[in-house]
Amino acid sequence: ARVVVLASGGGSNLAALLAAHDEPGFGARVVGVVSDRPRAGALDLARDAGVPAVVVDPADFPDRPAWNRGTADAVAVFRPDLVVLAGFMRILAPEFVGRFEPRILNTHPALLPSFPGAHGVRDALAHGVKVTGCTVHLVDTGVDTGPILAQAAVPVLDDDDEASLHERIKVAERALLVETVGRVAREGVHVVGRRAVVGA
Ligand code: GRF
């Protein structure tokens, strides 16, 4: 399956997907990377791996709808079977989702529906939970609200701060994302109500 990855940050999730290329039978290949940030580390990772990388910077567009269209066009060029949001820190408009659903996966560093949004790690820590984790889900028009595909639990340690907890989550998250992208690529996914089931 042809996978396009959208990333805004360092790209450790992207790196894990690129490394999975070498796994026999993975069934997915990152064919393009799109970022909203010109200096995102994910772009360097893509280029080092010989994967085309495109920046769609909101600063280059007159308004948000134009940026959304530009991002969707940049993704469509790669003819994706799956679109993976891996640390993409922008909310995609319904038009974007409509163009690619139900083939958009997102990874979130908390056990949804708990702690959605841009500060899931910080919010879980502040709430005092003893277990948090990460979630891979299908993207719908809400924020972190789509049907859940996979989750992994991660313990919160007493001396954790946001950084140490996020790093521990990311270890589990990278593995969960690679496993889930591979399974969806090989077996597909179908949704019944709110329940998403991988495999035809
Ligand atoms: C990931 O934990 C992702 O869930 C969150 O931001 C982090 C991005 O990490 N939205 P990276 O850029 O993939 O290293």
Q: What is the pLDDT of residue 200?
A: 65
Q: Are 165 and 187 in contact (CB under 8 A)?
A: no
Question: 183 among the known binding-site residues?
Answer: no
B/e letters for 76-97, b = 16+ CB within 10 Å, e = fewer, are eebebbbbbbbbbebebbeebb
| Closest residue by CA, ligand 1 atom 6 | 87
Q: Which of 56, 134, 113 is nearest to 90 (CA)?
A: 56
Q: How confident is the model at residue 76 (pLDDT cuts 50, 70, 90)?
A: very high
Whether residue 127 lies in the annotated active site: no
pTM of this structure: 0.95
Instruction: Tell whether ligand 1 has an atom less than 6 A from the beta carbon of residue 90.
Output: no
Instruction: Tell whether ligand 1 has an atom less than 6 A from the beta carbon of residue 12.
Output: yes
Q: Which of 117, 133, 127, 118 is nearest to 165 (CA)?
A: 133
Instruction: Tell whether ligand 1 has an atom less than 6 A from the beta carbon of residue 107.
Output: yes
Question: 11 among the known binding-site residues?
Answer: yes
Instruction: Tell whether ligand 1 has an atom less than 6 A from the beta carbon of residue 4.
Output: no
Question: 89 among the known binding-site residues?
Answer: yes
Q: What is the pLDDT of residue 16?
A: 96
CA of 169 to the centre of ligand 1 (A): 10
Q: Which of 89, 56, 91, 48 is nearest to 75 (CA)?
A: 56
In angstroms, the CA 189 to CA 105 distance is 11
In angstroms, the CA 189 to CA 66 distance is 31
ipTM over 0.85: yes
Q: What is the pLDDT of residue 21?
A: 87
Which of 13, 108, 165 to mutate to test ligand 1, by most ligand atoms within 8 A of the CB atom?
13
Dig out the tokens for 102 from the structure. Answer: 């139900």
In angstroms, the CA 11 to CA 8 distance is 7
Reported as a single tens digit per residue, the pLDDT across 51-63 is 999 999 999 999 9
pLDDT, average across residues 66-90: 96
In angstroms, the CA 66 to CA 80 distance is 21
Q: What is the pLDDT of residue 158?
A: 97
Start-to-end C-alpha separation, the chain:
15
CA atoms within 13 A of residue 199's CA, in its CB half-sphere = 2
